[in-house]
Structure 1
Amino acid sequence: MKRLTATDAARRFSEMLDAVERQGETFVVVRNGRPVAHVGPASKAQGAAVKSVLRANPRDPKWADELRELRAGLGVEERDWND
């Protein structure tokens, strides 16, 4: 894990993100000698985790109607959610 000062992280932000994306590197950003942030690869969402989040939140009863209106305006075919 590489350490960068906040100033260096700001100056080299694009380079830092390239290293994270391409090599999977992780950085600790330090301000006044103290770690204030970790920058590293984003965790990949697991299907089960996504389903858990969706199940944990109540359905919005207006959402299906709004989606139908949007699709009608775009000319998108209507499909049954249970298929």
Structure 2
Amino acid sequence: MRTVSATEASRRFSDLLDAIEAGDTVTVTRGNRPIAEIRPAPHRTGRDLRAALATSPPPDDRFAANIADAVANLTDEEADPWADA
């Protein structure tokens, strides 16, 4: 983990992003107080989605009907939302 001042972070932001992309976590300080921690974004995979779906209950009997109702309400018309205002 690395610590930088807010001033240094703003002056060397591109270098800071390079370090974060390489896996570093950076704490940004202002007046010697930590104000932010920047770390690499987590990588999401199909395995993550499968794991999340495995813990979700299956759709109920009304699911297909709810989707059909929603699709029926869609329109291709480009109406002016302010026409009646």
3-state DSSP class of the match of 1:25? Answer: coil
1:32 is matched with 31
Provide the aligned length of Structure 1 versus Structure 2. 60
Q: Which runs of 5+ in 1 are unaligned?
A: 53-58, 70-83
In the TM superposition, what whole-angstrom CA distance separates every residue of 1:3-29 from its partner, at most 9, and x where no partner exists? 0000000111111001111x2111000
3-state DSSP class of the match of 1:24? Answer: coil
3-state DSSP class of the match of 2:3? Answer: strand
Letter paired with 1:15 = D
Match runs of 1:14-53 below 5 Å:
14-21=14-21, 23-45=22-44, 46-47=48-49, 48-49=51-52, 51=53
Cα offset for 1:40? Answer: 1.1
- Relative to the length of structure 1, the TM-score reads 0.56
3-state DSSP class of the match of 2:34? Answer: strand
2:74 is matched with 65
- Relative to the length of structure 2, the TM-score reads 0.55
Runs of 4+ in 1 over 3 A off after TM superposition: 59-62
Q: Which runs of 5+ in 2 are unaligned?
A: 56-65, 77-85
Q: In the alignment, does 2:9 pair up with 1:9?
A: yes
3-state DSSP class of the match of 2:74? Answer: helix
In 2: Cα distance, 1:14 partner to 1:44 partner:
21
